Amino acid sequence: MPKQEEAVMALPDALRVPLHPRLVRYGHAQRRHITRRSPSFAATPVTHKGLTLQAAPDTRATTLVISSATPRSESLDLEDVRDIQAEYFEAMRRQIERYGGVVEKYAGDAVLALFGAPIVHEDDAERAVLCALGMQAAIELVAQGARRKWNLEPAIRVGVNTGDVVSGIWDTGTRQDVAVTGDAVNTAARIQAAAEPGEVLAGAETMRLTRRRIKYGERRDLFLKGKAGPVPGYPAVGIRDRLGERWEEGERTTSLVGRDREMLELLDTWMRAQGGEGQLVTLVGEPGVGKSRLVAELVDRVSSSGAIRVLRGRCLSYGQEISLWLLADLLRGLFGIREQDAIEEIGPKLGVGLRELLTGSEPESRREAMDVLGEVLGLAPSNSAVASAEASIRRQALIRSLRLVLGSLSQRAATMLVLEDLHWIDRASQDVLREVVSDIPGLRMLVLVTHRSGWVAPWTEWSWPERIVLRPLREHDAAVLAGAVLGGINLSPDLERYVGERAGGNPFFVEELLRALEETGGLEQRNGQMHLVPDIAQRLPITLTEILLARLDRLEAQVRTVAQVGSVIGTSFAVRLLAEVVGREQVALEMPLSALQDAEIAFPRRSPDPGIRLQARHDAGGCVQHAGAKAAQRPAPPDRPSHRAPVSVG
């Protein structure tokens, strides 16, 4: 860092609280003004009747899941009721923890779980609905025992809703509990009550956030207590066979903009792969910068030029703890197996596919492939020579079988293997993948990998793979994309400036900001241009704030607080002013400021004078990582942090 008396830390515009006036001079009056509106450097706990509320003054997206059982038989003994409840609660807890949620409370026959508090993930709503679907599947195992012992048919209702909640962490001395309140929780409970036994019912916002991954039934109008009009509800019926892409949503398909150079590089590698010179290309970039969009455009272009085979696998944020998740996803796509298929359906599909693909292979090689690939998909070991072998031997058999499968694919047709979001890869898949892709140079195959910065690929030290880094769009390209999102209408200078400042050239941010403005009436067309409605609200879409807050939540509490206080001061501030505001010596801020630099949330600038210099950072990669955006939406009272949350009740 520069010398402290000259140090200026710059923060992105997305972190700034819009209602707070920028500082133009330094003084004690300004310090008091800032302090009243910024998070305390060390939040003061609030104690009441032996309970301590650990205040967390920020705003974030949170998902709640509540499951509630249908009425039980009154003829059961209390001990039997307790046994059923224990099995039921344990089954629900396992699903909640599987998808990264937190149990808020058990009450009667209900379970309330949170996704997004105290930690935010960028896909909390999706996790909540998948958890709810998992709850319905898990209750069947409980029901089997209840049928056998007591002739009962236990079932649960699950409701999912997204909205604003107030949350806090209560410390009882022996444990800490997260508690939430708000209309979103009440609405979630009423949606849950409106669901049929065995059904998952979601609110409109939850459906909108998860429809790329989840398949929904027809809309139902729900007449809920306390609501003036009908509330839409959507039954979640399962997981989609293919993940929908955001540019495919709505009536307009967004075109690819500003990636001509990268596309030429990819087309060149594909030409070489078709000629038998296998290629491994890694696309690196921040969330929303367009990695998946570029891959989709490449697949469309090469698919129209001849017969090719495209094989896909995708890592998920909640799949890191599931061993061999990526390989299982890859095999499901190759052999036409759905994620929700029962075990008895998987074996026949895998067997038919392997017999067709490995026709010229030795019978023992086919049996070995059926054994080890089947195990990846959840099947029990079969009758191959390695069926009873130790783990290391079976791992080598898995590598051999995958090499055999990929080699057979490339012999039949030029193949493109797309592996997305490898920053979430599980360790077992990564170890196997490293061995398998070492064969690629001898195959007619292009392996295209996407991941975010920060993950180190296991082939980094190899000389032959190529790496393409996607940068934010240039200002002109971002404006062209914005016009395409709005159906080809030119943007007015004020709207173009608004989008440029907040999106920083990130295509996902551009699209989400404009669509949010369209949905909320923030745009109006005049004289052949689209204009920003005056006094438009500063609220960011949930899709963006979840990404921003997920980045911020990875930092320690002290570092997060420094980022939020700095954002209230402005997009650029002197370190000595920050120290004055938080009431600490400048030396005490060295650690949190260094952490912000490492996370690319703030960066040092030398100031020509010792005063304050305001400077916005128009950088999408930075904006994604600086996540005080939720605090910028709605100030929360200091001891009642507010969270926007997808809420799921079951």
Confidence of residue 149 (pLDDT cuts 50, 70, 90): confident
Q: Please tell me which residue, 3 or 465, carries the higher pLDDT value.
A: 465
Q: What is the pLDDT averaged over residues 424-448? A: 96
- Of 222, 119, 201, 197, the closest CA to residue 647 belongs to 201
Strands (E), 533-626: 572-574, 603-606
Confidence of residue 112 (pLDDT cuts 50, 70, 90): confident
Q: What is the pLDDT of residue 511?
A: 87
Question: Is there a common fold for 53-246 and 259-469?
Answer: no
Q: What is the pLDDT averaged over residues 138-165? A: 86
Q: What is the pLDDT of residues 289-309, one digit of tens each?
A: 999 999 999 999 998 777 789
CATH code for the part of the protein at 53-246: 3.30.70.1230
Based on C-alpha coordinates, what's the Rg of the chain?
A: 27
Confidence of residue 553 (pLDDT cuts 50, 70, 90): low
Query: Which residues, 6+ apart, have CB-to-CB distance to 375 below 8 Å?
Result: 381, 394
Architecture, CATH, for domain 259-469: 3-Layer(aba) Sandwich (3.40)
Report d(CA 554, CA 560) in Å as an integer: 9
Report d(CA 438, CA 436) in Å as an integer: 5
Evaluate if residue 55 carries a pLDDT over 70: no
Q: What is the pLDDT of residue 578?
A: 79
Percentage of residues in the chain with pLDDT exceeding 90?
Answer: 41
User: Among the listed ranges 157-166, 263-272, 474-483, 637-646, which one has the minimum average pLDDT value?
Assistant: 637-646
Residue 391, amino acid: A
Cis? peptide before 12, omega within 30° of 0: no
Confidence of residue 8 (pLDDT cuts 50, 70, 90): very low
Structure tokens at 538: 């500063």
Query: Is pTM, for the whole model, over 0.85?
Result: no
b/e map 350-378, b = 16+ CB within 10 Å: beebbeebbeebeeebbbbbbbbbbbbbe
Q: What is the pLDDT averaged over residues 79-94? A: 88
Structure tokens at 146: 């209840």
Q: Cα-Cα-Cα-Cα dihedral of 296, 301, 303, 307, to 10°?
A: -140
298: exposed, middle or buried (C-beta count within 10 Å: 0-12, 13-18, 19+)? buried
Confidence of residue 20 (pLDDT cuts 50, 70, 90): very low
- Domain ranges (residues) in the chain: 53-246, 259-469
Report d(CA 9, CA 593) in Å as an integer: 8
**φ and ψ at residue 128, rounded to 5 degrees:** -65, -45
Q: Please tell me which residue, 634 or 598, carries the higher pLDDT value.
A: 598
Q: Please tell me which residue, 520 or 128, carries the higher pLDDT value.
A: 128
Evaluate if residue 92 carries a pLDDT over 90: yes
Report d(CA 350, CA 338) in Å as an integer: 12
Q: What is the pLDDT of residue 297?
A: 93
Q: Cα-Cα-Cα-Cα dihedral of 405, 411, 416, 418, to 10°?
A: 10
Q: What is the pLDDT of residues 517-539, one digit of tens each?
A: 887 788 999 988 999 887 665 56
Residue 16 DSSP code = S
- HEC string for 147-160: HHHHCCCCCEEEEE
Report d(CA 484, CA 494) in Å as an integer: 17
CB atoms within 10 A of CB 308: 18
Evaluate if residue 552 carries a pLDDT over 90: no
pLDDT averaged over every residue in the chain: 79
Confidence of residue 280 (pLDDT cuts 50, 70, 90): very high
- Determine contact, residues 390/421, Cβ cutoff 8 Å: no
Q: Please tell me which residue, 596 or 405, carries the higher pLDDT value.
A: 405
Sheet holding 603-606, edge to edge: 572-574, 7-10, 603-606
Confidence of residue 77 (pLDDT cuts 50, 70, 90): confident
Evaluate if residue 16 carries a pLDDT over 50: no
**φ and ψ at residue 288, rounded to 5 degrees:** 85, 0
For residue 646, the cross-strand partners are 162
Evaluate if residue 641 carries a pLDDT over 70: no
Evaluate if residue 63 carries a pLDDT over 50: yes
Structure tokens at 359: 């026709």
Pairing of strands 572-574, 7-10: antiparallel
Confidence of residue 482 (pLDDT cuts 50, 70, 90): very high
For residue 166, the cross-strand partners are 181
Percentage of residues in the chain with pLDDT exceeding 70?
Answer: 74
User: Among the listed ranges 98-107, 214-223, 227-236, which one has the minimum average pLDDT value?
Assistant: 98-107
Confidence of residue 642 (pLDDT cuts 50, 70, 90): very low
Report d(CA 177, CA 196) in Å as an integer: 30
